[in-house]
Amino acid sequence: MTVRIERDGCIGSGQCVLASPEVFDQDDDGVGVVLRPDPPDELLPRVRDAVHRCPAGVVALD
């Protein structure tokens, strides 16, 4: 599975980082970035939590 963020729509809430700091971070402008686009299976529950927490709906797991 692949994690992605539609950076143009990110509002910088940081919910993805709170849910899964091993997979997500924020750049200097507060925009979310994916650190591990193909996370191991044990992190997938936290990534799914990040998808559901994102208020802008720009975090996806494909």
Closest CA to 59 of 1, 7, 38, 28: 7
Q: What is the pLDDT tens value at each position of the chain, 62 positions in all?
A: 999 999 999 999 999 999 999 999 999 999 999 999 999 999 999 999 999 999 999 999 99
Question: In the prediction, which pLDDT does 48 show?
Answer: 98
What is the domain extent for residue 32?
Answer: 3-61
Question: In the prediction, which pLDDT does 51 show?
Answer: 98
- Split into its structural domains, the chain has a count of 1
CATH number, domain containing residue 57: 3.30.70.20
Question: In the prediction, which pLDDT does 60 show?
Answer: 98
Question: In the prediction, which pLDDT does 55 show?
Answer: 98
Asked if residue 23 lies in contact with residue 39, where contact means CB atoms within 8 angstroms, the answer is yes
